[in-house]
A and B are shown apart, each in its own frame.
Chain A
């Protein structure tokens, strides 16, 4: 039902419909994100007026679509959840902000920027939130691996590695 409405409205701009663990998910080009979110919000029969979560995922192997921004939306009246994602490349990480639609998007987008470097265009206060301002990289990207626990070049007797 939701899928039909979205396809009727946006045609082949929305794609990759799938249901996993009872939740419908789909994708669209990143330029469409505000139009899709606004439609989901405004259309009375859809009513996805509650933004549960925004986060990002880094897939280093998807060339040109390395970063994916995931929105989890909730229709509280009908109790339906929805997952919507847009992908962007590492070179141009611009994605339109959802802060005009949802106040809650403000910090969630700041967090996403902080960890993945997604540049939310139009965000009122896009700066780091959990990490220090001086940080010059985006730590949750896959290019920053955690320390290899088997490394032996550290002389660190106090912490049991010596």
Chain B
């Protein structure tokens, strides 16, 4: 009679650590990430990440699309704050083509971008809550993200992948309903954010779970290419809105909150503080928008016939409008030669667009600088020596968005 023995890999008997696979799809990862961890009991000895599960070749796709068709691609980068990506792309195009946008457009964009920032931070912070065992905050604030999505819906018709705005401005003026919904949000949300903070900020369990875990020094964070709230939590006050203002951010008063230890708790606090700043920026922007009277209050796009679609009734009645309509839709407009790197402050860091044109109708090359792709490589260092359960919190507090990571 033959005995079938199990053959173990070399070195298995002496091995004192366990290999643990988390992901690609796992309730704890909030996105498609794989981590293969070497754990000693509950302590992490080392870890190895695999990314790229939802890679969709955006940079290649962009090489044969006219500029306006690239906007829906940018939606799918950081889909928790896709309006910022859309605006970032429009601003890149406008800088590249030397298009000056009217002030009202800038202020409307600021409103939308800050709403997107709030919804991004809201998701991130409430998920940190979920991962430390507090589901209530998450369920409670979802209702208010819904209010933000309703405002998007009123402006562009969609909610998650927004494709909002056009090169030169917006596709239509904001309706009164949009402003009513914005007022409703501005009235209701601060109270909720206060309650949300009360739930977490001085909550003993939450503090003990997040303080001192996943920390990083300012030097290491910069060396790892951290940007956005994660870098600011480590104590570096770098914010693209201040350092390289776009969309008239120089007209607004706001502070850049910073942390000191760069740990999960500081990241949480920085994001919360930024939401307060965003509310204040939206209020200022809304005031500025309301100050426009008469025909100024009707301006919602720049006058760029080569890139901004004419009105539909003009297309039916005017020859010139019909020609522009055709040329824009078919992508028959030659771009100038040149290259530009244009960053915006995305929900989780500096979102950069590196556009190279050789004078053709589509970009010769378009590269997205995706913040979380760059800072996710620090993850093994952040979690090394920590507990497995803290690694889960660290991952969610880094605000990793798989769509952006994999482009």
Is B a genuine binding partner of A?
Answer: yes
**Residue of B352, B356, B376, B407 touching A72 (CB-CB under 8 A):** B352
B339's partner among A20, A103, A129 (CB-CB below 8 A) is A20
Residues of B close to A79: CB separation below 8 A: 243-244
- Contact flag A52-B356 (CB < 8 Å), given A76-B236, A129-B51: no
B residues near A52, Cβ cutoff 8 Å = 225, 341, 343, 350, 352, 369
Chain B residues whose CB sits within 8 angstroms of the CB of A140 once the complex forms:
59-60
Contacts of A34 in B (CB 8 A): none
Report yes or no: A108 in contact with B223, Cβ–Cβ below 8 A.
no
Q: Which residues of A contact B236 (CB under 8 A)?
A: 76
The chain B residue sitting closest to A111, CB to CB, is B373
**A51-B225 contact in complex given A79-B243, A79-B244, A130-B407, C-beta closer than 8 Å:** yes
Instruction: Write out the residue numbers on chain B whose beta carbons fall within 8 Å of the beta carbon of A104.
Output: 223-225, 374-375, 377
Known: A50-B225, A129-B51, A130-B52. A107 touches B373 (CB 8 A): yes
Q: Looking at chain A, what size class is its interface with the partner chain? A: 20 to 34
Q: Does B135 touch A at the CB level, under 8 Å?
A: no
Tell me whether B354 and A72 are in contact (CB under 8 A): yes
Residue B96 CB within 8 A of the other chain: yes
A146 at interface by CB-CB < 8 Å = yes
Q: Which residues of A contact B52 (CB under 8 A)?
A: 128-131
The answer for the CA separation of A139 and B350 in the assembled complex, in Å, is 26
Q: Does A115 contact B (CB under 8 A)?
A: yes
The residue from B238, B364, B369 contacting A76, defined by CB atoms under 8 A apart: B238
CB-based contact B377/A106 at 8 Å = yes
Q: Which of chain B's residues have a CB closer than 8 A to the CB of A55? A: 354, 367
The answer for the CA separation of A123 and B55 in the assembled complex, in Å, is 23
- For the complex, what is the distance from the CA of A81 to the CA of B354, rounded to whole Å? 13
Whether, in the assembled complex, B153 has its beta carbon less than 8 Å from a beta carbon of chain A, the answer is: no
Number of interface residues of B (CB under 8 A): 42
Q: Which of A80-111 contact B (CB under 8 A)?
A: 81, 83, 102-104, 106-108, 111
Contact A130 B338 (CB under 8 A): no
Q: Is B222 an interface residue (CB 8 A)?
A: yes
- Could you give, for residues 330-345 of chain B, a 1 whenever the CB lies within 8 Å of some chain A CB and a 0 otherwise? 0000000011111100
Q: Mark B212-242, 1 if CB is under 8 A from A, else 0.
A: 0000000010111100000000001010000
B354 touches A103 (CB 8 A): no
B57 & A139 in contact (Cβ 8 Å cutoff)? yes
Q: How far is the CA of A139 from the CA of B378 in the complex (A)?
A: 27
Interface string of A119-131 (1 = CB under 8 A from B): 0000000001111
A52 to B243, CA, bound (A): 14
Choose among B63, B350, B374, B378 the residue with the greatest number of A CB atoms under 10 Å from its CB: B374
Question: Chain B 44-58, CB within 8 Å of chain A: the 1/0 string?
Answer: 000000011001010
Q: Is B30 an interface residue (CB 8 A)?
A: no
Apart from A21-B342, A72-B352, 8 more pairs, CB < 8 Å: A21-B95, A21-B340, A103-B378, A104-B224, A107-B373, A107-B377, A108-B225, A130-B51
What are 23 A-B contacts defined by CB distance under 8 Å? A20-B339, A20-B340, A21-B95, A21-B341, A23-B340, A50-B222, A51-B225, A52-B350, A53-B352, A53-B369, A55-B354, A70-B354, A72-B352, A102-B223, A103-B220, A103-B377, A104-B374, A104-B375, A115-B59, A129-B51, A130-B407, A131-B52, A131-B55
